[in-house]
Copies of this chain bind each other. A is one copy, B any other.
Amino acid sequence: MLTAERRQFILTVLHRDGTVVAKKLSEELNLSEDTIRRDLRDLAAEGLLQRVHGGALPISPAVANFASRQNQEPGAKSAIARAAASMVREGQVVLFDGGTTNIEVARNLSQDLHATVITNSPPLAVALADHPHIEVIMLGGHLFKHSLVTVGVATLDALQMVRADLYMLGICSLHPKVGISTVDLDEAYLKRAMIACSAEVVALASPEKINTAAPYIVGPLSELTDIITEHGISDEMLEPYRSLGITITRA
């Protein structure tokens, strides 16, 4: 294997997994760790990746593949996911948008539950395929590859016929002053539309998203009826939300 070829391989793996580990690479390629480290150093010097202790990360976290994010910190998310799943009641029509957390929620839905799930996330639809009693409706549109959801006019249009009981709002940033915000304009429009056609709105908020803001605003916090977060979070951080009358659940 040529040197240049190996470096491309490293970049490919990095793009696929969202992470590379020097030691593991050296074993896979049957080379010394020194060589791998030199590669990583040079690639970092070219600005093609970000060097970290033990391996490397993509330059921008955004390019990290969706699949890899599905694996990271599965334990913490499942507590939130279980709590969120239990909020779905028999016979309801529930909107799910994308995100790894929401997929976890879908997997945690009781096998006895009869409900209709409407989603713009193809992987979430696939995850529900083996559920015996849930009817899945997929919203069409452009596939936004970064977060694996459909977006755009077609998706908005399809939503116009929907009246949902519950909206499971996937990861986005929450901030007392800014409100609900997200990183993509199309996603922001879509989330806003989903909020508009749902009776209740549940936000799944892992701690790193609370009191942060993103470029595109979905709407004010007052749109939320529930926030589900981890139990480790402090009271004062949650106070601005609670004072708005939002029900806080610590999972």
Contact = CB atoms under 8 A, between A and B. Distances in A.
Interface string A1-37: 1111100110010011011010000000000000000
A150 B138 contact: yes
A59 interface: no
Interface residues of A, number: 47
Nearest to A16: B130
A136 interface: yes
Nearest to A152: B137
Given A16-B130, A126-B126, A140 B143 contact: no
A190 interface: no
Contacts of A66: 129
Given A57-B8, A123-B122, A130-B15, A142 B135 contact: yes
Protomer copies:
2
A154 interface: yes
B8 A61 contact: yes
Is the contact region of chain A dominated by helix, strand, or loop, or is it mixed? mixed
Contacts of A16: 130
A200 B15 CA distance: 35
Given A65-B8, A123-B122, A138 B141 contact: yes
Interface string A88-132: 000000000000000000000000000000000011011011100
A158 interface: yes
A221 to B, nearest CB: 30
Interface string A33-67: 00000000000000000101111010001001110
16 contacts: A1-B19, A2-B52, A2-B53, A2-B55, A3-B53, A4-B52, A5-B68, A9-B68, A15-B130, A16-B130, A122-B123, A122-B138, A135-B142, A137-B143, A140-B140, A140-B155
